[in-house]
Amino acid sequence: MSVSEAQKKATRKWDNKNKARKQYLNRRSVTKNFILKEATTEDLEQIEKYIEQKRKKIKNPE
């Protein structure tokens, strides 16, 4: 199923207006897919450490 020219234009317009949001969504998707499909036990242990560091930083911003 092909996408209409109007839809392509609307998508480009949204992408240009929402670059930061698009980048956030893309990074979140990449992270989720890595964790669910490729991460090893060691990767998951390290990721858990990163998550804990981030939680502490959010709770106590300096």
Tell me what pLDDT residue 33 has.
98
Q: Residue 14: exposed, middle, or buried by beta-carbon count in 10 A (0-12, 13-18, 19+)?
A: exposed
Rg (CA), the chain: 17
- Going by pLDDT thresholds of 50, 70 and 90, the confidence category of residue 1 is confident
- Going by pLDDT thresholds of 50, 70 and 90, the confidence category of residue 61 is confident
Residue 11's domain comprises: 5-59
- The pTM assigned to this predicted structure is 0.75
Asked if the model's pLDDT at residue 62 lies above 80, the reply is: no
3-state DSSP call for residue 38?
Answer: coil
Residue 1 structure tokens: 């199923």
Q: Looking at the 3D structure of the chain, how many domains does it have? A: 1
Whether the Cβ atoms of residue 15 and residue 22 lie closer than 8 Å to each other: yes
For the stretch 2-59, pLDDT in tens is 999 999 999 999 999 999 999 999 999 999 999 999 999 999 999 999 999 999 999 9
Whether the Cβ atoms of residue 49 and residue 58 lie closer than 8 Å to each other: no
